[in-house]
Structure 1
Amino acid sequence: MEEPALFGVYDGNRIICDRLIEMFSLDVAEPSATQLPDRLAAAVQALTGLLPDARQEQAFKVGEHFDFRTSAAFWQERFIPALQRILQRPDAMFLGDPWAVVADLFDPVPDQWGLRGDLFLWLEMRHSLSHTALPATTEALAGIVQGAYAAITGTKLVARQDTWVPHLAHGGMSSGMMSGEFWCRRAIPMLQQRLAWLRESWRFPA
């Protein structure tokens, strides 16, 4: 959605929004503007267990020791009305091709992190690459991730260099610190492997 003010930097609602994008990207047919709000409300309930029109909150984890929250009020009172405003514009349209983007490779999250800031960089990078088409090669993917790292942190990615990013500091030891070793030795190779698996599955459909 084109309303970034809806989300904060440490926001469970944005994580649920990413999941919704993944769910609706599987649609073979484009949903109509009149159907989408009701379908979205049902999808939020399926993902979170939150009932429509109820003052409920739901806590969930993204990796060990990282707690996030989402609320029914946000979806009913802010997100869905914002979506309806966009759909009412004469130039409103849904995203078309490509249907697979770099952000798709960021799920699931790793089971281990280098430093505490790496999770938040992972989430922000996934969000920023949600409209970036999958590249043809794993080498090109590494370049995309390195570029996103530099754009978000303001520092070139170097294996033996850790980086501190103030807006990704949310408390705890090593808060806001990114591990260059983690991104070079674990995260990027993991993403490259997922890209290779995905492209191999396209070559040999079941």
Structure 2
Amino acid sequence: MQSQSNGYTALHQAAWHGATLEVIGLLLSLGADCRIKTTDKGLTASNIATINHPERADLVYALTERRLTIAQLIRKVIASKPDLFDAYDGNQVLADRFIGSFGTDPCPEKADKLIKKIEASFRSLTGTYITSSKKVVFSPAKGYELQVDTKFWKSQFFPILSEFSAQSALTPIEKEWAVVSDLFDPAPEQFGLRGDLFLWMEMRQALCYVPVPENPSDLAGIIKSAFHALTGESLEKREDFCISRFARGGMSSGGIDCSFWIEKFIPMIEQRLNWLQSMWGH
């Protein structure tokens, strides 16, 4: 609720006074809206935090306006309904493919547009329209047959998805469904060499299934392993190199700066996880 005098909400007040992350996390979990602006100066809570507490990078991060991506929304649905899928359920395999397909696509404001995007992805991944009554069966290994049920998506999954999508701009990152790639947002303000941006994009996609670790220090090992898997090089060498698939504008465009990953990126996401854990601790 906004005050009548200047339009301040509880979130604005918390930003003004430099509240702890635990308090901010509680307010966000209760549905506080980072988008609301004051009526006197048109400031969001993040604006106020930046002005009053420029040293509080944690506060600005916590109050930055975000809208869940489609992949995050799907993960939230799955986490909220632990009995949604059966054992050896083809629907679960398809849900995982949706997560990988949509990556960082923002959730549309209207639920019908979201459903249409899912239906289009369903068609591209299964070769079948979701309105069809045809059975979708695939065998990932000999002796195992998995089935996708179109009725499940229409009558069970979509209603839950639509309900959650209505709150996608008010839903913070939650412990139950957070993955490492969630820590990549927002992107670093500056990358080392030109190839680092493209590697960052690939790594964000690759880590969209990896749950955030309990200990932020474990993130270093995860990033180093992903780095090696995607580049064939070790971060431990601390030597810059070039990735040919990124070098479309000349060799310099594919350059990778190892110091960026070791000295800037890894500490940044470790810090973000620390902040999120403080917000979850409410």
Q: Which residue of 2 aligns with 1:79?
A: 121
Q: Which residue of 2 aligns with 1:119?
A: 197
Q: Deviations over 1:31-90 (max 9, x none)?
A: 998xx99xx9xx87827xxx89xxxxxxxxxxxxxxxxxxx9xx6996341245588444
Letter in 1 for 2:209: H
- Between stretches 160-169 and 134-143, larger displacement belongs to 160-169
Q: Which residue of 2 aligns with 1:174?
A: 252
1:24 CA drift (Å)? 2.8
User: Does the residue aligned with 2:235 lie in a helix, a strand or coil?
Assistant: coil
Q: Name the count of aligned residue pairs.
A: 155
The TM-score with structure 1 as length reference comes to: 0.60
1:26 CA drift (Å)? 3.4
**Would the aligned equivalents of 1:159 and 1:185 in 2 still touch at CA under 8 Å?**
no
**1:191 corresponds to 2:233:** no
The TM-score with structure 2 as length reference comes to: 0.45
Q: Which residue of 2 aligns with 1:145?
A: 223
**Would the aligned equivalents of 2:184 and 2:269 in 1 still touch at CA under 8 Å?**
yes
Unaligned residue ranges in structure 1 (runs of 5+): 1-17, 53-71
Give, in whole Å, the separation in 1 of the partners of 2:127 and 2:219: 35
Q: Deviations over 1:105-139 (max 9, x none)?
A: 11111111100011111111111111111112122
The root-mean-square deviation of aligned C-alpha atoms, in Å, is 3.9
Q: Rg bigger for which structure?
A: 2
User: Does the residue aligned with 1:26 lie in a helix, a strand or coil?
Assistant: helix
**1:25 corresponds to 2:75:** yes
| Structure with higher RCO (Cα < 8 A, 6+ apart) | 2
Structure-2 change in CA distance of 1:140 and 1:91 (3 Å): farther
Letter in 1 for 2:198: F
1:98 CA drift (Å)? 5.7
2:280 pairs, out of 197, 202, 206, with 202
**Would the aligned equivalents of 1:113 and 1:182 in 2 still touch at CA under 8 Å?**
yes
Letter in 2 for 1:164: C
Give, in whole Å, the separation in 2 of the partners of 1:185 and 1:131: 25
Give, in whole Å, the separation in 2 of the partners of 1:26 and 1:82: 23
1:159 CA drift (Å)? 7.0
Give, in whole Å, the separation in 1 of the partners of 2:238 and 2:106: 41
User: Does the residue aligned with 1:79 lie in a helix, a strand or coil?
Assistant: helix
Q: Which residue of 2 aligns with 1:103?
A: 181
